Every structure is written in structure tokens, then in C-alpha cells.
Chain A
Amino acid sequence: MQSIRQNHLPDALPDFRNLGVVSRILLSVNVLALVFAVARSRELAEFPVKVTEIAGSLEPVLLVVVIVLYLGSTVLERLPYTHGLFVVFAIVLATTGALFPLQSLLGGSGDGRELAWSLACGLSAAAALAWYFHLRNRAFSPAISEARLQALQARIRPHFLFNSLNAVLSLIRKDPKRAEGALEDLAELFRTVMADNRQLIALRDELSLCRQYLNLEQLRLGERLRVEWQLDPTAEEALVPPMVLQPLVENAVYHGIEPGVAPGLIQVRIERRSDRLWLQLTNPYHPDYQHRQGNHMALANIRERLQLHFDVEARLDTRIADGRYEIGIAMPYRTSL
């Protein structure tokens, strides 16, 4: 097997459309401003005055910059990192400069010295944030490799592999055609599992992976396994982390179908509501079989990868209602990186 490379992600600008990134920018700049205000106040009574003064000149610039970055993020993404960084600095300087006349309206002197001071502040805040995002990128890239590794280990239980191979063996003499189809599904499944799972993939591909997996399970479980799909055709282009659904479907079979003698139903629902993508999965709940291992590992793994890709904009919730176990995932609907 290939050795695990500790490769760092190449430096890249953060995704300025991401709520997590935007709030990090707003929060850290404001914290910097507060620290600055403390440093500039000679006594306590002076502090609120300083804060208002700084906020008055800072907030308009900050808001405009964030909005411009939000709108321009698709263009910025396509630039090489250094060029992109240069453009961002230019945007910060231009905005500070353009909004400088406002400061004199708010009681600033409006002279050249003050302009230079504002520009310097803007530039250093931008540089500090660039450095922060650079470090964050560095810190998270081994996490992504690690997540990928975990994805390999947590995916596809040996239990499933050996049972499936056994089911295929049972077909070879009587129904060789079906055995061929089953082995092809198995090969496809493992090709995906062993692929580099860091890039987002189309939901369509993830769904077909789930179907191949369920075909194999159907082979051995027969009529005990029933699946109901409610798909939204407009959602299939959406980009999702690879293996975001298959492990959950596998859990649904393992915890929801296998412990039951009577046939059980797995429901998969995909829905797009404007810029959000909703995935919902339900299966029968067997309280007596909760000691069977593996569930929390897959959930934690998917939650972590959702966070790496979408930060605070994605969420995963589970609940038990009416004798069924439900998992809901919400994430931004995106069709390009």
C-alpha cells in the first residue's frame, strides 16, 4: 500500500462566501480594534470614546471590504494565491482610501497624515488575517489527510465484505450472470473507497455509490431490505464531500435492517431549498441492538469532514422519532468549487 503522505494543502485564499470565514474576519478585526482602543486610552473614562471613534472609521470600511470579497470570491478563487492576496490587499487599501472622506465628516481632521495612518491600519489588519488563514490552512491540512485515512478505515465493515463475498460465491454455480454483476458492484465500491477522498464530488455520484452498495446488501438480505428514494432532480449536481451518505446507508442496514426478522424500510430523501441542500435518512430503530459497534465513529467522521469543507454552514443532526432513527444533514448548495 502507498505510504501516507503528510502533504499540506497548497496555500489558498479562504472562501469569502462561507459564514464561518466571514464571522472570523469580522470578529478578529473588531477584537484587534478593541485592543487598539485599550492601548490608546490613557484612562478608563477615555476608553468608550476611543472605541466609538475607531468603530466609526473602521466599521464602514470593514463591511464594504467583506461585501466586495463576498461578491468577488468566484474571481479571486481562480487567481494564484500570491496574486489573489495582492488583489485582496488592493481592495482593502482602495476601500480605506475611498471611504476616508467619511472620517472627516465624523470629526476627523482629514489630513494626509491621518489618511496614511488609516491605510497602514487597514493593511496590517489584512496582513494579520492573511497570516491567520495561512496558519489555519496549515493546521487543518494534516487533519484532512487524517480524515481521509479515517474514512478508509471506518468505511465498509469487514462484516459486509465477507458476507457479500459469501453471497457472491453462492451465486457462481447457479446464476453466474448475477454473480458477475455483484462483483462489478463490489469492485466499484472499493474503487471509490480507496480513491483520494479530499475533493468534493457530485451528489449524483454519491447516490450511485449508495445504489451499488444497496444492490449488494439486497443480494444477501433479500426482501428484508426495502429502500425508498425521494430524490430532487435539481439537487443532483450539488457538490458534497465524498462518502457523506454511503456510510450512513451502511449504518442504516447494520443497525436498522439486520437486527429485524420482519422486512424493514430505509428512506432516503434529498431536497434542495434555494441555496441549501438537505439530506435525510431514516431506518427502523432497534433499542436492544444499540451495543453493536461502529455507529458513532462514522457519524463523527462525517461531521468532521462536513466541518472541514463547509465550516459552520453544514450541520448533522440525529434523532429517534416514532420508532425510527433519523439523520438529517444540511449543507450549502454549491455546484462549483
Chain B
Amino acid sequence: MSPIRVVIVDDEQPARNRLRELLEDCRADMPHSVAAEAANGVEGLQAVTASRADVVFVDIHMPEMSGIEFARHLQVLEHPPAVIFVTAHDQYAVEAFEVNALDYLTKPVRAARLLAALKKAAGGTHLTRGVLESIDPAPRRHFSVAERGRVTLVPVSDVVFLRAELKYVTLRTREREHLVEESLTQIEQEFGSVFVRIHRNCLVARRWIRGFERGAETEGEDGWSVILEGLDEKLPVSRRQWPQVKSLGKAGE
């Protein structure tokens, strides 16, 4: 068996150093190599995909992207690495880990615990979106898209609209389109304050709505459509959603 590849993600340099030292101490019992370390979730995702890591140690409490959100983005990969959460003191998360039988370490980390977690992780563990969401229900700051074995992050604030196509959901920013494997309903629930549903198959970011115009055809009848900030495309509003939607344009003017 080739040694497993480990990545460390923590925003504090001393904490990363300490984990490296302890991993060093465990090497005789569990062969592994530390492939990379990263100071935040964004760099961490790059490090994980670039090194094709097997195991990631991630601190829960990090600026910009929490360890839990980081783990959610990893799940879009075809073969996500095993995740071992590390936390100094987070009663709520620790309880959730216990309930879901997830592996976690508390700082200061003990070498024996680290070794046990490493051995278990090498055998493969499974994280699900539902479990991670139950630990941290706060909305993510990014959507993640798997593209050619890498994770592309799209900041939620860049998204203009999301539209359900046949099999996927298309996510549109001002620059380009991405495909995401999430349902509109899930997205609507998570980001209720950011997006508004204008049609059975479409969510639009409130901040990108410039106004409305008449004339588009929806299901054979004349209706309203949304004019967007910075995009020429016009999106039809269904008659059912119109009452909720129309007030938004006035507020924006």
C-alpha cells in the first residue's frame, strides 16, 4: 500500500506546525506524507485537488470559509478525500460530530488520537451534504462546481440567476455559465434572502434585478419578464410568482 497523502488546512501557522510535528511522530505506525498545507479553504481546495490527497485535516473555525463549508465543496469531487475536523472549542460542532459518528480532533491534539483518526480515515469515510448542513446550517459563501477534476468556486454574490434545465441546474454569472448538481429547491431554502423564485424553473438574485417589462410570452399568454443588471437576457416571470416578484422592482428603482 502506498503511503497516504495528507493535506493540512488551518489559518494559524503554529497549529499547522504542531500538526506536522505530531504526524511526524505517527509516521512509523502509519506511513503517510504531508502533501501540502493551506491557510484557508480556497487554497485548501486547490491543494487537495492538485495533490490528490487521501486525507484532509481541517480546522472548523477559519476566516472567509469555515471548515464545514470547505468539506461541503469537497463533496463535488468524484473521489473526495476523507475529512478529519479539528477544533479548539466548539461545543455545538463536537456534539454534531458525535451524533453523526464523524471523526474530529480537539486542540491541543494528542498523538494517539491523531493516529487512530488517521487509521480510520485511511479506510475511507463518508460525508454527506445533509450531515454537514446539520452541523452548520449557515448559507455557504460559494457554489462549487467540479470541472476537470478540480473544484471551481463561484462566490454566491456573483450569481445572477439559476435555471433548471433538463438534468442540471445552470448557474449564470455576468461572465459565464456553470453546471451545478443541486436542486433549485435546496438552493432556495439555503439562500432565501439572496434569491427569489420568478418561475418554476428559475431563481434570480434580488440584487441583480433592474426592473420588469411587459411583452414576453409565458405559456402562450402575455406576461412580465425581469430585466437584469449587466445581462441582456430577459427572464419570464410566471403568473403564479408575479405577485411576490413585482414589489422587488419598485424597491430597486
Contact = CB atoms under 8 A, between A and B. Distances in A.
Given A169-B108, A222-B13, A260-B63, A162 B88 contact: yes
Interface in B90-126: 90, 106-109
B17 interface: yes
A221 B14 CA distance: 9
Contacts of A162: 88-89, 106-108
Given A258-B63, A261-B64, A220 B14 contact: yes
B21 interface: yes
A173 B14 CA distance: 12
Nearest to A158: B89
Residue of B14, B15, B106 ringed by the most chain A CB atoms within 10 A: B14
A22 to B, nearest CB: 46
A173 B39 CA distance: 22
Residue of B17, B40, B64, B109 ringed by the most chain A CB atoms within 10 A: B17
B27 interface: no
Given A158-B89, A162-B106, A170-B21, A259 B63 contact: yes
Residue of B39, B89, B138 ringed by the most chain A CB atoms within 10 A: B89
Interface string A277-314: 00000000000000100000000000000000000000
A170 B106 contact: no
A154 interface: no
Interface residues of B, number: 21
B63 A166 contact: no
Nearest to A163: B88
Given A157-B89, A158-B89, A173-B21, A165 B108 contact: yes
A159 interface: yes
A157 B11 CA distance: 19
Contacts of A261: 11, 39-40, 63-64
A53 B35 CA distance: 92
B229 interface: no
Given A157-B89, A221-B12, A163 B107 contact: yes
Contacts of B107: 162-163, 165-166
A85 interface: no
A215 to B, nearest CB: 13
A121 interface: no
A171 interface: yes
Nearest to A257: B63
Interface in B45-73: 61, 63-64
Interface of A: prevailing SS:
helix
Contacts of A158: 88-89
A170 B22 CA distance: 10
A219 B13 CA distance: 9
Contacts of A221: 12
Interface string B1-35: 00000000001111101100100000000000000
A166 B40 contact: no
B4 to A, nearest CB: 23
A167 interface: yes
Contacts of A157: 89
Contacts of A163: 12, 15, 88, 107
Contacts of B106: 162
Nearest to B42: A261
A170 B18 contact: yes
Contacts of A219: 14
A169 B25 CA distance: 14
B17 to A, nearest CB: 5
B89 A167 contact: no
A169 B12 CA distance: 13
Given A166-B18, A219-B14, A159 B89 contact: yes
Given A171-B14, A222-B13, A166 B89 contact: no
27 contacts: A157-B89, A158-B89, A159-B61, A162-B107, A163-B15, A165-B107, A165-B108, A166-B88, A166-B109, A167-B15, A167-B18, A169-B18, A169-B108, A170-B14, A170-B15, A170-B21, A174-B17, A219-B14, A220-B14, A258-B61, A258-B63, A259-B63, A260-B63, A261-B11, A261-B39, A261-B63, A291-B138
Interface of A: 157-159, 161-163, 165-167, 169-171, 173-174, 219-222, 258-261, 291
Given A162-B107, A173-B21, A260-B63, 10 more contacts: A161-B89, A163-B107, A165-B108, A169-B108, A170-B17, A170-B21, A174-B17, A221-B12, A222-B13, A259-B63
8 A-B pairs with the lowest CB-CB distances in the bound complex, closest first: A170-B18, A170-B14, A162-B88, A167-B14, A158-B89, A166-B107, A166-B108, A163-B88
